[in-house]
Structure 1
Amino acid sequence: MKRESNVAVSKIAAYAEDPGKFVSSAGGAYNPKLARMGTAAHSRIGSGPNKAAFVVAVLVIVSTLLYFKIIEI
């Protein structure tokens, strides 16, 4: 069986912070609060753009262009 050669930075940081806790938790999360914060951060990053904000921005831009008579209908 071939072992993975890549190690996540978070695993290195967790080991550097407290090697004993890292080993006793088998490399898993030993601080539930920080694990939840990390999961939430990853979810926000991967959630993609907000469609409502995009629609509002387009409407504001178009209405501004119409108001200043840069475009006409």
Structure 2
Amino acid sequence: MPKRPRAVMPAGIRRELDDAGLMQAFKARPPYQRNDYLHWIARSVRPATQRKRIDQMLDELRAGGVYMGMAHPPSKPTQ
């Protein structure tokens, strides 16, 4: 099964993650999730769709335990 090409993080998304204080949460995710988020955002055609996808990624990273709208227990914060 061919692997999806590794996405390069655009400077704008890097800035969004840094500004939100979520870069560590992003880096803690498995490589396939990081790659999926970046490809998913890059595939958006309309700026409004891109904004919505970035916001969803940031919200999921902030909350933990969620990946693309699905439960992801390994990323759930422990308290």
Query: TM above 0.5, one fold?
Result: no
Task: State the TM-score, normalizing by the size of structure 2.
Answer: 0.28
Q: Which has the higher strand share?
A: 2
Task: State the TM-score, normalizing by the size of structure 1.
Answer: 0.29
With a CA cutoff of 8 Å and minimum separation of 6, indicate the structure with the bigger relative contact order. 2
